Amino acid sequence: MYFKQLDQEQELSKARVELEKWKTLVKAAETEKDRLVLEKIDTDEEKRNAHQEVIDLINNGEQLKVSFGDTLKNLQAEMNAINRTNQNLQKELQHLKQQLNLKKAETAKLQQRFKIKAEIPEKKMRFTHVLKEQEEDESAEQENAYQDIRAVFTIIQRPSYLLEGGEALITFEEEKVADQILKLPRCSVACEQTRSEVKPHSITLEPSAKFEVHIIVSKKTIRFSNAFTRLPEERMRDRLELGFSKRSRGGGEVERVEYDAKTGSGHITFLNTGVAEKLTLRGNIFIDAMRELEVTVEPSYKYQLKKFQTFLGVPKRSILLQGSPDVNDEDDMQDHLEIHFQKPSNYGGEVENIKYIGNGKKLRAFFNEDCADKEAQ
């Protein structure tokens, strides 16, 4: 009986231990459950937050998409406007270019018609006579007139015409012959075994000019250049006066010095005449300015254009022939033309001058005053 009770107590004790063990496990399970519940709550919160973030991102994406679409439309509209503006500017530029070309052509035509610039060849001058001018009222002007050398040059540009390849220019001795030829629509010229059809035209000479150049050369003042130095301007002016005053170097007493340090040039006016002429004939003078300078000396002069006239006219005794065939022997073709237009049966007459040039060439023909009736413009 005793042993049976002892076994029961032992089993009861084991049961208590087992119970405590299970209580501990249950408590741990509840703790783990609570932890998992809390984690679930946190996970759900994070899930809700993540879901909300996704929704916000989707909404923002939709707004950005709409905004991007609006921006794209605005940019496209701006691009279309810019393209239209560019097209309008291109059209306007093309129009302005056309106007510019027309203006250039008009300017070239006007310049050709009223040109005042002409290449004047070098030519020896011949003194003809002293020009008697009206007496001056003031004595100072009379004195200056004696101190200066005055000259008048009359420049006359000969009228001309540019003869191009395949053309011939004929001048007859009589006007009526040229008039008769110009009335013909075409002229058939015999050239060895063939005949050439040439068309006569009247010509308008290029504008020519006539003007006077009035030059006043000072007898007391010269112009100098190449006077560059590091000296101050006032000191250099003194050096120039001293150098140009030395008679051993061809100078004389200086009345006035004008000097420009930037250009290294200026004017020297002497008290007496004769010094300027001697120095200009030499062409240089040496000046002491820290080092010896070779200064260039030139005459001091003023000039003025007067009585300027332009002339434009048509030669009455000359005609232009176009349509001549391209030939190797220009002289032979010229002979055929001269023979044809000298015959009265061809409405021709005595030829004073004739010139034919082949294709690919150009020649400028000059006229004497009696060959062209010119009208002053």
Per-residue pLDDT of the chain (377 residues), as tens digits, is 555 566 777 777 777 778 788 888 878 888 887 788 777 777 777 778 888 888 888 888 888 888 888 888 888 888 899 989 899 999 999 999 998 988 888 777 666 655 555 555 566 666 666 655 544 444 444 445 456 888 888 888 888 888 888 888 999 999 999 999 899 988 888 877 778 888 999 988 888 888 899 999 999 999 999 998 888 999 999 999 999 999 988 889 999 999 999 999 999 999 998 899 999 999 999 998 888 889 999 999 898 989 888 888 888 899 999 887 767 778 888 888 888 889 898 888 899 999 988 888 888 888 876 544 433 33
Strand partners, 303: 215
Does residue 288 sit in the same domain as residue 329?
no
pTM strictly above 0.85: no
Does residue 25 lie in a domain region?
yes
**CB atoms near residue 351 (< 10 Å):** 17
Q: Domain check: are 235 and 297 in the same one?
A: yes
Nearest CA to 216 out of 125, 155, 151 is that of 151
* The pLDDT value given to residue 377: 31
Looking at the structure, do residues 27 and 55 belong to the same domain, yes or no? yes
- My answer on whether 223 and 282 are in the same domain is yes
- Give the pLDDT of residue 135: 45
Instruction: Answer yes or no: do 223 and 344 share one domain.
Output: no
Q: Distance between CA 284 and CA 352 in Å, rounded?
A: 53
Residue 324 is predicted with a pLDDT of 75
Looking at the fold, whether 240 and 283 belong to one and the same domain comes out as yes
Position 374 scores a pLDDT of 37
Domain end call among 57, 76, 95:
76
Domain co-membership, 199 together with 320: yes
Q: Are residues 227 and 255 in the same domain?
A: yes
Q: Are residues 244 and 283 in the same domain?
A: yes
Neighbours of 360 (CB within 10 A): 9
In-domain check, residue 321? yes
**Exposed, middle or buried: residue 178 (CB in 10 Å: 0-12, 13-18, 19+)?**
buried
Residue 72 lies in a domain: yes
* Rounded to 5°, angle at Cα 188 from 182 and 193: 155
Assign residue 166 a region (left: φ > 0; alpha: ψ between -120 and 50; beta: otherwise).
left
Q: 199: closest CA among 162, 165, 167? A: 167
**CATH code where residue 327 lies:** 3.30.70
Question: Is residue 147 situated within a structural domain?
Answer: no
If one counts every other C-beta atom within 10 angstroms of the C-beta of residue 356, the result is: 23
Alpha carbon distances (Å) from 85 to 74, 89, 346: 16, 6, 66
Whether residues 191 and 327 fall in one domain: yes
Question: What does the block give as tokens for 5?
Answer: 């009770």
In a domain, residue 258? The reply is yes
CATH of the domain at 252: 3.30.70.330
Helix residue spans in the chain (DSSP H): 2-113, 139-147, 175-182, 233-245, 275-282, 330-342
Q: 312 burial class (0-12, 13-18, 19+ CB within 10 angstroms)?
A: middle
What is the total count of domains within the chain?
3
**Assigned domain for 91 exists:** no
pLDDT at 236: 92
Q: Which of 301, 332, 359 is the last residue of a domain?
A: 301
pLDDT of the residue at 44 = 75
**Residue 197: domain span:** 159-205+315-376
Q: Do 356 and 223 fall into the same domain? A: no
Both 174 and 231 in one domain: the answer is no
Do the beta carbons of residue 314 and residue 203 sit within 8 Å? yes
Query: Where is the domain boundary, 20, 55, 76?
Result: 76
Please check whether residue 353 lies inside any domain of the structure. Answer: yes
- φ/ψ of 201, rounded to 5, equals -140, 150
Residue 125 falls within a domain, yes or no?
A: no
Alpha-carbon distance of 91 to 139, in angstroms, equals 68
What's the rounded Cα separation, in Å, for the pair 68 and 172?
87
